Chains A and B, each alone.
Chain A
């Protein structure tokens, strides 16, 4: 595993980006665990073992949700899109397209990759040199 969550040289990445990458890796692991438990639960016949695994899967739901909330707080554009998709009824893909358009339309192309619509995405500078 090592430092696989980094796609770029870690030494060149600012601390907030490294933290963000760690939580992205954690989110992936929690999602994988949810899927694995789901498969085990589908096959298990022992009621006691099932209860234990359902409880464990519930922990992963919590971990996944906490990771996701952290990431959404750090990246408002992602949060804005998520708000247009999550916990809505209706067509998921349609909501996704609308949320994406609404989030980036107001930002102008200059905001591509920025943390919120129009934001310069500066945030915390702890660990920045000088």
Chain B
């Protein structure tokens, strides 16, 4: 048994299968960052830091005649979203109920996916530098007028190209921006979604938590997501009525090429 303590939970094998499948189904659509960045791992729960290959100076040496350097590493961060499920609901699932109430799990899945997106796209104070805050490019305005979206996105792509950042490119769109794009047809009936995809030559990604949009290069090597423990459901405690579980992951994220992303505000 590992640290997730799953076998201590009063949950049947079928119940765990149900919960894992539900979580996977709910997590995959909103995990936008993983659709755009390089992913490595998972390296395990006991993996604590990413090697940066750099050193920092030390003020002194332990004794005369030698010098020393300190290695720099990027610590992994942990995200955890707690939730409670009704034991009666899980018992009904074991009886074959198809309409089991897993809303708390669904909400936790959305929350942790959103947090991962925010950390990658915009940063997490004292923990992660996000794409938009690392980017040296001026922030462009996307605005609300969808007529201007192709020009704004093309402008972002042009900035990347001017810096020698090759494509294909991808776009993370916040919820509101994504909704506007998918519901809009341009003059002549051409879908704005398809037009933007042609401009970036890559995916448009629904990115809950993203503020506005971020245009990024997908050539690889620019944005590195390192997973320690990938998203997992763990067990916390239970009483007569509920089981307390949590979704958890550990990861680091670093921007290797700050110029490879352009942020567009809402």
Q: For residue A119, which residues in chain B have a CB less than 8 angstroms away from its CB? A: 42, 229-232
Q: Are A122 and B17 in contact (CB under 8 A)?
A: no
A125 an interface residue at 8 Å Cβ cutoff? yes
A 89-130 binary contact with B (CB < 8 Å = 1; else 0): 000000000000000011111111011111111111111111
Interface assignment of A76: CB less than 8 Å from any CB of chain B: yes
Distance between Cα atoms of A116 and B140 in the complex (Å):
41
Count contacts on B: residues with CB < 8 A to the other chain: 42
Residue among A76, A111, A118, A123 having the largest count of chain B Cβ atoms under 10 Å: A118
Whether A124 pairs with B231 at a CB distance below 8 angstroms is no
A contact residues around B205 at 8 Å (CB): 130
Assembled-state Cα–Cα distance A108/B34 (Å): 27
A23 vs chain B, min Cβ distance (A): 15
List residues of B whose CB falls within 8 A of some A CB: 1-2, 4, 6-7, 9, 11, 13-20, 23-24, 27-29, 31, 34-36, 38-44, 203, 205-206, 218, 227, 229-234
Question: Is A118 a contact of B227 with CB atoms below 8 Å?
Answer: no
Cβ contacts under 8 Å, B2 to chain A: 106-107, 117-118
5 chain-A/chain-B pairs, Cβ below 8 angstroms: A108-B9, A114-B20, A118-B4, A122-B31, A123-B34
Q: Cβ of A122 and Cβ of B24 under 8 Å apart?
A: yes
Given contacts A115-B42, A126-B39, contact A106 B230 (CB under 8 A): no
A107 CA to B28 CA, complexed, in Å: 21
